[in-house]
């Protein structure tokens, strides 16, 4: 049944998203330093190595560093209005604490943004997406050390100044809340998670929150037109049953994540954290001026959404399933993806409303998509392609719920699907987990030509964009 969905506002920013470390490759070219990802060949699933190793798929990625022109041309063909990528911090400051930036790194992003702008594609840039310079991790213990605020400030100031006429939309830290679960990947913390105290973890988070607010402040000084947002991993928690203890547990688990958006949007720590800090013997060390810096709130809230989860106050039932880094208790009413992430389109409408009710700031969905096994086939015209109807259905159903949320009154600036071109996954560092509209011929054993092929979903998304969402089908 076609419902003629006519809810997306004019100027809605349709597009796709990637991160430097998952697609660029060229891990040691043109003066780039190592990042935490270059020695993590299994993502969060395995140990880090002493040096980069050949089995680390991210070292070559999909070779976006050399093929970005071809790829952006394909994005333009789909009609992208925006393209989200990140800047690899270690391309700009190879060790993180260098005083002078690496000109070749800066030039690469100049070329990349120029290529986007050539097609009228607005760059949406994440400043730090799981790619802390390795030296900052090893020598300073990542964000545990307050000195990182200064290094980050220098980095942010450098890129804001350099790209002030090319980039308008910025995100500070990717999925900042994930650091409480994966401190190495998300916050470059070298101390193993089992040995990391809650005190140090939340102190590190304080440093990131101050750095993020500082970036908002200096960004607006450099160009008042900048729109600077935070980025949180969105995963709403439903009570497993209507039992009051389950409802309260869901509230508590939501707050573990909402805390980060709360500080970014309201400019101060929420009062509910006082109890959490007290019960966990955490005392955040604030320096004079920190509270004032935090007052520089973001212009918008961006988030990733792949799944919802359930929460229960009953320890015997609190058995966590698989999921996007954080996960939760599986919902008996939902099916899951090939990787066990539960699929819940209505959860996206729910979280959009939750964020908007809470903050009354514009929202931006900067990640949503289906990681699946794809089979490359040859069609009747002799073209290689993938019949990814499952991906089309996933995205269609989520976008129908986005339209509902807009109708609910949510102010939404845009939507970028995750991994608009196949890339290396973050959690498992695999290539066989594919998200893209564009198939990349590269495999986990290192084979493949790196050729690009358009999937069926490529043409589907092109139609969605050109009709501003009117081609979506409401199956409910
Ligand atoms: C988000 C990250 O957690 O989810 C991305 O911001 C990541 O970097 C995406 O790729 C999907 O997760 P995965 O593990 O399937 O790559």
pLDDT digits (tens, 9 = 90+) for 73-126: 999 999 999 999 999 999 999 999 999 999 999 999 999 999 999 999 999 999
CA of 324 to the centre of ligand 1 (A): 7
The pLDDT of residue 59 is 98
Q: How far apart are CA 51 and CA 379, in angstroms?
A: 43
C-alpha of 130 from chain center:
9
Domains of the chain: 2-474 (3.20.20.80)
What's the pLDDT score for residue 4?
Answer: 60
Place 44 in a pLDDT band, splitting at 50, 70 and 90: confident
* Ligand 1 center to 430 CA (angstroms): 11
The torsion region of residue 96 among left (phi > 0), alpha (psi -120 to 50) and beta comes to left
Q: Tell me, what's the pLDDT at 322?
A: 76
* pLDDT band, residue 327 (cuts 50/70/90): confident
Q: Give the number of other CB atoms < 10 A from CB of residue 69.
A: 11
The best mutation among 427, 434, 436, 444 to test binding of ligand 1, ranked by most ligand atoms within 8 Å of the C-beta, falls on: 427
In the predicted model, what is the mean pLDDT of the chain? 96
Q: How confident is the model at residue 2 (pLDDT cuts 50, 70, 90)?
A: low
Query: How remote is the CA of residue 286 from the centroid of ligand 1, in Å?
Result: 32
* pLDDT at site 6: 82
Predicted pLDDT of residue 326: 78
324, pLDDT greater than 80: no
Question: What is the mean predicted confidence (pLDDT) over 11-28?
Answer: 98
Q: Which residues line ligand 1 (CB under 6 A)?
A: 19, 22, 174-175, 304, 324-325, 367, 371, 418, 425-428, 433
367 annotated active-site: yes
Residue-level pLDDT at 212: 98
The per-residue pLDDT for 318 is: 87
Q: How far is the CA of 60 from the centre of ligand 1 (A)?
A: 18
Q: Which of 135, 175, 208, 367 is catalytic?
A: 367
φ/ψ region of 122 (left if φ > 0, alpha if ψ in -120 to 50, else beta) reads: beta
* Confidence (pLDDT) at 46: 81
pLDDT at 476: 75
**Nearest atom within ligand 1 for CA of residue 325:** 3
How sure is the predictor about 3, in pLDDT bands with cuts at 50, 70 and 90? low
- For the stretch 363-392, pLDDT in tens is 999 999 999 999 999 999 999 999 999 999
**Shortest-distance atom of ligand 1 to CA 435:** 15
pLDDT for the residue numbered 221: 98
| Ligand 1 atom nearest to CA at 341 | 15
Cα(288) to centroid of ligand 1, in Å?
Answer: 36
Tell me which of 326 and 224 has the higher pLDDT: 224
Average pLDDT score over residue span 285-305: 98
Residue 45 confidence (pLDDT): 79
- pLDDT at position 438 is 98
427 CA: nearest ligand 1 atom? 14
- Report whether pLDDT(1) > 70: no
Determine the residue of 304, 325, 339, 433 to mutate for testing ligand 1's pocket, defined as the one with the most ligand atoms within 8 A of the Cβ atom.
Answer: 304
Using a pLDDT cut of 70, give the percent of the chain over it.
99
Averaged pLDDT for residues 280-284: 98
């Amino acid at each position: 049944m076609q419902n003629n969905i006519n809810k997306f506002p004019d100027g809605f920013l349709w597009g796709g998203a990637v991160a430097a470390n998952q697609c660029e490759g060229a891990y040691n070219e043109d003066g780039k330093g190592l990042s935490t990802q270059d020695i993590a060949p299994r993502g969060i699933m395995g140990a880090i190595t002493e040096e980069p190793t050949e089995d680390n798929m991210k070292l070559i990625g999909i070779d976006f560093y050399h093929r970005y022109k071809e790829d952006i041309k394909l994005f333009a063909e789909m009609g992208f209005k925006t393209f989200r990528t990140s800047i690899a911090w270690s391309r700009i400051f190879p060790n993180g604490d260098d005083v002078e930036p690496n000109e070749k790194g800066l030039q690469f992003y100049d070329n990349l943004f120029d290529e986007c702008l050539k097609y009228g594609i607005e760059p949406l840039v994440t400043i730090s997406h799981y790619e802390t310079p390795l030296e900052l991790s090893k020598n300073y213990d990542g964000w545990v050390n307050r000195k990182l605020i200064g290094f980050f400030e220098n980095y942010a100031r450098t890129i804001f100044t350099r790209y002030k006429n090319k980039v308008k939309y910025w995100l500070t830290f990717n999925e900042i809340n994930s650091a409480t679960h994966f401190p190495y990947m998300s916050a470059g913390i070298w101390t193993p998670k089992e040995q990391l105290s809650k005190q140090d973890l939340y102190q590190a988070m304080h440093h990131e929150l101050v750095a993020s607010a500082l970036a908002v402040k200096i960004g607006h000084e450099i160009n008042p037109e900048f729109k600077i947002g935070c980025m949180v991993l969105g995963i709403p928690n439903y009570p497993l049953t209507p039992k009051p203890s389950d409802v309260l547990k869901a509230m508590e688990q939501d707050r573990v994540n909402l805390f980060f958006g709360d500080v970014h949007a309201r400019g101060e720590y929420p009062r509910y954290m006082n109890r959490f800090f007290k019960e966990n013997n955490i005392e955040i060390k604030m320096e004079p001026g920190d509270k004032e810096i935090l007052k520089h709130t973001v212009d918008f809230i961006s988030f990733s959404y792949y799944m919802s989860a359930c929460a229960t106050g009953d320890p015997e039932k609190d058995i966590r399933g698989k999921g996007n880094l954080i996960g939760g208790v599986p919902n008996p009413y939902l099916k899951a993806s090939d990787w066990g992430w539960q699929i819940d389109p209505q959860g996206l409408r729910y979280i959009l409303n939750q964020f908007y009710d809470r903050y009354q700031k514009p929202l931006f969905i900067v990640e949503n998509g289906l990681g699946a096994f794809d089979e490359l086939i040859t069609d009747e015209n002799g073209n290689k392609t993938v019949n990814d109807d499952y991906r089309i259905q996933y995205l269609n159903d989520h976008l129908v719920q986005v339209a509902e949320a807009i109708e609910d009154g949510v102010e939404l600036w845009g939507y970028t699907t995750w991994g608009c071109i196949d890339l290396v996954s973050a959690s498992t560092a695999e290539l066989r987990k594919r998200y893209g509209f564009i198939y990349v011929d590269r495999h986990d054993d290192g084979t493949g030509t790196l050729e690009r092929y358009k999937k069926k979903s490529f043409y589907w998304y092109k139609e969605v964009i050109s009709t501003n969402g009117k081609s979506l089908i409401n199956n409910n």
